[in-house]
């Protein structure tokens, strides 16, 4: 589970759809791993407008990364190589291998094993 994916995930439980606190999902007992990956600036530039910066800052903070800038890099800052390299490392090379994703609204915990999050829900929560 890369941090970029975590930035897109919201709680799947039916009652949480309307609630603002169902996003972002918070990591618990996370075990991190770094996997080197080819640097893809075009993809990053394409994906940046869709990233929820507040959610990313919150999660990065919880996982103990250095503080991210207050505002989302946009426009010209996106052409800056060091910014993009940093984002690449954070979003695409950082994996959560083991741990839990926890919803801030209902408290449901999604297990992560070998990097795969389990989003299967018991039928009464669907």
Residues that bind another protein (CB under 8 A): 1-2, 4-5, 8-12, 23, 37-38, 40, 42-43, 46-47, 50, 52, 92, 114-121, 123-124, 126
116: its two tokens: 């795969």
Cα 2 to Cα 15, 48, 104, 123: the distances in Å are 26, 15, 20, 27
Min dist CB 49 to another protein, Å, is 10
| For another protein, the closer CB: 7 or 73 | 7
Q: How far apart are CB 74 and another protein at their closest, in Å?
A: 17
Contact between residue 95 and residue 7 where contact means Cβ atoms under 8 Å apart: no
Nearest residue (CB) to another protein, 17 versus 28: 17
Measured distance CA(105)–CA(21) in Å, rounded:
5
Q: How far is the CB of 102 from another protein (least distance, A)?
A: 14
User: What letter does residue 33 receive in the DSSP assignment?
Assistant: E
């Amino acid at each position: 589970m890369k941090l970029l994916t975590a930035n897109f995930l919201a709680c799947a439980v039916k009652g949480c759809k309307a609630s603002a606190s169902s996003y972002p999902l918070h990591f618990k007992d996370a075990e991190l791993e770094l996997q080197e990956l080819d640097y893809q600036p075009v993809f990053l530039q394409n994906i940046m407008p869709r990233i929820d910066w507040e959610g990313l800052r919150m999660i990065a903070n919880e996982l103990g990364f250095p503080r991210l800038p207050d505002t989302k890099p946009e426009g010209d800052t996106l052409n800056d190589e060091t910014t993009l390299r940093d984002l690449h490392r954070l979003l695409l090379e950082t994996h959560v291998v083991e741990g839990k994703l926890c919803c801030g609204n209902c408290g449901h915990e999604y297990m992560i094993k070998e990097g795969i999050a389990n989003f299967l829900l018991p039928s009464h929560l669907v």
